[in-house]
Amino acid sequence: MSILLRASKASVLRQAVSAARAVSPRMMSHAEGEPTFNECVGIYFDQASKYTNWSQGVLDQLKSCKSVLEFKITIEDEKDPNKVHSIQAFRAQHSFHRLPTKGGIRYSEMVNADEVKALASLMTWKCAVCDVPFGGGKGGVVVDPKKFSVRQLEKITRSYTTELIRRNFIGPGLDVPAPDMGTGAREMSWIVDTFRTIKPEEVTGQGCVTGKPLEQGGIDGRTEATGLGVYFGVRELLRTEAKQKIFGIKNLRMEDQRIVLQGYGNVGYHAAHYFAKQGSKIICVVEHDGYVYNSKGLDVEALNKHKTETGSILHFAGAEKTQVGDGIKGLEYECDILIPAAMEQQITKANAHLIKAKIIAEGANGPTTPAADAILHSRGIIVLPDMYLNAGGVVVSYFEWLKNLTNVRFGRLNRRFDERRGSFIVDALKRSGHINLTDFEANQIVHGATEKDLAHSGLEDTMINSFHQILKTAQEKKISLRFAAWVNAINKVAKVSAGRGLFSH
């Protein structure tokens, strides 16, 4: 068993379970007997902070959400002019240790202030873990996008943006939203257009939001970034024999991995795409309405096409088994890697003992409750935590923000120069007669990096460096990767805050 997993298992389990039981029954989430999502984030913070040297006063300041904006958006009903929809909206800013704050906007009927504050907090720690210089923010609108027309959604989005501008809750140096559940490039295009219409003097106004279409200052590579980050993080865990000694993982070959995936949206599909590309088998895909399973591996692209055409993964022709309803049971299939890439609080104390994965790679925000995490830890299951593993989106959003500040596309200044230099090298090698290059090798030398190449390269570098920072802390303090990520994040934010005089230590 790994040296990381031997440390204080019983103590961790007792702390997590007692913390969960201490929560008022009125604050319980949809996961019966579990704390709310925001309380789960607080429990993780409190547990990890014990491994830092900061005073309780400092920790209390770091933990609290600094600003929460709540307001209503009103739009007319398209069918009944006498009827109006009053829609609740939120924007939370967790930490100002670095500006701007950064975080997505979620459109969902499940959105509430508790969830938005929790996600804003996670964004602070996620950015710190991956050395992205932002504070954490998050937004939400209590609306089901499927129940409104495109015209109504545009009105909602533009009204939301206008209210943020009025309250100084958006701007390239203040607070920079991004897509999240229920939103995408379309909504971000409405936001940037509204911002630039109201504030045309802002020469870097495109940087008020990320995840935009390319023609409005977006970056090539943002769409797949979170799923690709999940792949890079897992690959780094499996990459060398040293990891086998540390974690006790016997199966290190990517092509041997059997994967169960929850959520087949943007994150889940792209994670599946990159794993399948390397030969891994996606044996089960789980959604809210059921799951599909094939012991030999599902065809990732065919399943995505099926979902696009039918609106569901169910009844996919390439599945050996389709389970309608009770989709969460699909998490219990025996596998090498379980990737929860859907909603928070999916692995709880009710099902943690049924998980049969060797590695859990958290592609979603907060998919594992503290009590469940302690159970997984005690069972020797390695968890790559959400605050590290699903940071790919904000990492590439950071690159998009930098692009918007400079108003220069990545690769524009140097790509053709690099290609000409590569051509000269290939020609010289061919003339020498000593080296025979294949067409692929020649193309690799000549190829100049595109914007997507650079975005993916920067993401890969970030995920590799962050993993080794986390691993170092985990080994030094003999704690899990999750707690190590939290410790690193808390220390980084505290040091910046102290340096800015935001508190005394």
Catalytic residues: 138
Q: 157, 182 in Cβ contact below 8 A?
A: no
Q: How far is CA 364 from CA 133, 342, 393, in A?
A: 22, 5, 11
Sequence-distant (≥ 6) Cβ neighbours of residue 114 within 8 angstroms: 36, 37, 38
- H helices present in 103-184, as ranges: 113-129, 150-166
The whole-angstrom separation of Cα 244 and Cα 252 is 8
The residue behind tokens 């940071």 is 391
In angstroms, what is the C-alpha Rg of the chain? 23
Find the helix packing angle between 266-277 and 300-310, rounded to 10°. 160
- Enter the tokens of residue 108: 């969902």
The whole-angstrom separation of Cα 232 and Cα 234 is 6
The whole-angstrom separation of Cα 16 and Cα 371 is 5
User: 80: which DSSP letter?
Assistant: -
The whole-angstrom separation of Cα 374 and Cα 16 is 7
